[in-house]
A and B are shown apart, each in its own frame.
Chain A
Amino acid sequence: MSTLAAESRWGKYRQLPFWRLVELFVERIFRGGGDSDTEGLDIGVGLVLTLLAMPGGFVSVLLFDKYGSLLQWLRGQFHVDTLLIALPDEYFFIVLSMTVTGMVAVWRWDAIFPDRRDYTNLAHLPVSSRTIFLANLVALLLLAGLVAIDVNGASCVLFPMVVSAAQGTLPFFIEFGLVHAVGVLLASVFAFFAVFAVLGLLMAVLPPRAFRRVSGYIRGLVVVYLVTLLCTSFAVPSSLSRTTGRAPLWSFFFPSSWFVSLCQLLRGRANPAMVELARLVLPAVVGVVAVAFGASAIGYRRHFVRIAEIADGSEVSQNPWGWRMGFLERLLLPTSFLRGCSRFVGKTLARSEQHRLALTGVGGLGLVLASQALMNAFQGATSLRQAALTPDALSIPFILTFLLIIGLRIVFEIPVEIRGNWVFQLLLDADRQECEPLARRVISVAVLCWVTPLTFIAYVYAEGVLIAALHTTLVLIWAMLLMNLLLIRFRKLPFTCSLPVFKQHSIVILISFCFGYLIYAVSTPEFESSALVNPVRMFSLVPVALVAWYVPRYLEKNTINWTGS
């Protein structure tokens, strides 16, 4: 009954131009942005909200194991300080909340502000530009609230339930839940408006053409920062709780530490450093919202109101060396199809913002994991030589190649201006099967061309030529085998096919990637670390490599081509 009443009330509101604009902007932020007239990755508002809510819910459920009183008793943990052991988990939820919300803001970066499409459709109507701005602002506020509640809703209920499982009292559950909700919701709002403020400041400061040029790089940096933030969840809580005296300098650069400190302060368990950090929360949230609104008002005035005077599109600077190295090009790309299509693929990767962004996200994750591995390698090592042979150090090129190859393979599936793919449909010769060699060459040039030489040089310096050659060869072979596996029955030109539907086995693929990562970038370096002490043992990897080489070939020949191409 109340739902019907609300619907009817909204029905009346949406007859008013202002609320109709708000509805339009909410829908546009969720479902479309940028200048393309074709539909993008439209997986529906409901599914987006479900996907955003999932991580918090899943992680909460997985924590039952840690907080269950019976399991604690079985582990011999009789006097557990629940709030103390909850600190790292609470920090993780705060970081997760900030990362997911920040990623949403980065993902919808192009749709946050009214764009040329809105201008074309709305500017000639009897609606003032101020009304359009305010409607967009209201839509953003609604969206920020919705995302904050959605991302944190499950964890706000489940995490306090899990934590209070051992305590079993309702007041503890309510108190813990309220404090947790304040922390994660504020963190979410802060992350959303921080990205919004960055966007607004860029628009307010830069001329439109420069903004378009810089925008992609800034988005990439924000993604890398958010991934870094996620990776701090292993180190920050313990460092913060151990801190005596004033808050360390680094903690000021990670807003997540301010919010976890606020939670600790509200529970009366904050040390002086946490008190200092918690005091930053309110001014920071108010400040970032104020900056976001102020800068967006200036940016709106400079960009949207003046769209009619701004030329569409931007010039692309020509690289005088790009594709001029004729000999090298002919060597790597022997047919004209490969040469033509690789230019298209290369330029799409370099210029398409969504492709760059996806790749930056994966690359950023690789960089963070590689940095962590490097730090771990030097912990406890007495020399460079010793550190270089630890599994952590050996895993670095494996981490980078795995994530970049997987990242590129995923990026190949993202279409670019699907209406333009008729050119390739006319050119593609189904009998010659040149798409797989093309993808292989692109991946090799983009990843192996720099990872393997750097690995070799670094290990020649640290361990000598033999170890360097063995390690580099293993990285190279593993990367080739991974490519073989990922390019089974690859029959399409990158970026030219519709997005694959959200298949039921997507979860299985995701789990396979995680499992593959463990074998590729964790187990292999561990074995290699022990084998390099006696290099002959490296040959025991040959059968493994042969199996890994044969299986994709077998699958390639003996599976039915369901694509029909």
Chain B
Amino acid sequence: MATAHKHPNYLAILTVVELAVIFMPLGKVTIGVLLCALALGKATLVAMYFMHLRFETRTLGLVAVTPLVIATLLVFVLLPDGFAVVHQTADKKAAVTEPAKH
């Protein structure tokens, strides 16, 4: 617990870095990847030190990681729906533009 209060500084620094990243002259994808990495880093710090996960048993760590796995699977569950929406929108656009040609 004595170590816990030294880490919040990193969180503040990382937030400043996040804000700085937005204004950096970088590509959109690079900024996105950087922001995601920074957010994950901050979340890990909070879980490890604030929530003492680093000092708990490994099995409790598994309990904590489970939602991450489920959330990742969720993205794949949603992907088919996502593609369906994209295709529908494309079909609609095609349907709208075709009569205009005649």
Question: Are these two chains actual partners, yes or no?
Answer: no
**Chain B contact residues, CB within 8 Å of chain A:** none
**Chain A contact residues, CB within 8 Å of chain B:** none
